[in-house]
Amino acid sequence: MITPHVQARANVRKTWFLMGSFLIFIIAIGWGLSYMYDNPAILYVAVAFSFIGNFFSYFNSDKVALKMSGAKPMDPKNPQHKVALRIVENLAISQGMPTPRVYIIEDSAMNAFATGRNPKNAAMAFTTGIIDGLEKKELEGVAAHELSHIKNRDILVMTIVVVLVGFISIIADMFMRGAFKTKGGDSKASAIILVAGIVFAILSPFIAKAIQLAISRKREYLADASGVEMTRYPEGLASALEKISKQNKPVKRAGTATAHLYISSPFLDRDRTTVDFLERIFSTHPPITQRIDNLRGMNK
């Protein structure tokens, strides 16, 4: 059985693997270009970019995720925000954890996510739709699920992926642009870069998806189970997920780089029961109906 402690250690190892792979990948590209153009400066820039990219992703990826989602700090004076803040605080205290920063996303879709590199630097965001649409016990179930991601260190690898996926898109774009900015005398080099740029541009979405799937959808099942251990009430989260699955609304500010962060896929119709084979394979979340069945099975 995978325990939260084992999951936390695995996520730390996975984070170092992703960051190390990114480092090697960028340096390899820089070496290839520097060899092609006989310009060592390109390699130096690639090395600097890879280290800066990893440093930035580790210390600022949570800020990037919150910014991309349009999240703002909750207002303690707002009655509805106050309820959510109290729920998160009580759960954190019960687990002996620091209380994460809590944010609100102005969006009628029902969803939530956690982000940050560790429990001391964690944040949790709820949409206005989920705050308005759930009962207190249901919201508590969602908060416990997200707090489990923090406790299990899922957020470390999940959040860093947001920035690394973004960097992959930037690199693909640089390849394409670079091919058209080389001088006429470098027609052979230009052709090579153009081909490499096209190939990388085509493959970059699959590379990004592979990185996201490397996180493993099992983390959602574990967070569901860990959340129930906190609340001792499986029906709270099960009922919340049921309402989320029935809303059929996408989160407006969600993108492919941040989709894996949310408690449920933020895209339209992604968690319906009748998904096709490929969609089920490449989804960042397990079927929500299966998660609900698992939770309700805990009551038997």
Q: 60, 156, 61, 82: which is closest to 126 by C-alpha? A: 82
Q: 143, 75, 82, 137: which is closest to 114 by C-alpha? A: 143
Distances (CA, A) of 69 to 111, 148, 187, 198: 11, 21, 42, 30
Distances (CA, A) of 209 to 21, 98, 157, 180, 203: 15, 32, 14, 28, 10
End-to-end Cα separation, the chain, in angstroms: 20
- CA–CA dist 292, 17 (Å, integer): 32
Quick check: 167 and 161 in contact, CB under 8 A? no
Please identify which of the residues 146, 220, 229, 279 carries the catalytic annotation.
146
> Which residues, 6 or more positions from 62, have their beta carbon under 8 angstroms from its beta carbon?
115, 116, 117, 121, 122, 123, 155, 159
Quick check: is 106 catalytic?
no
Active site residues: 146
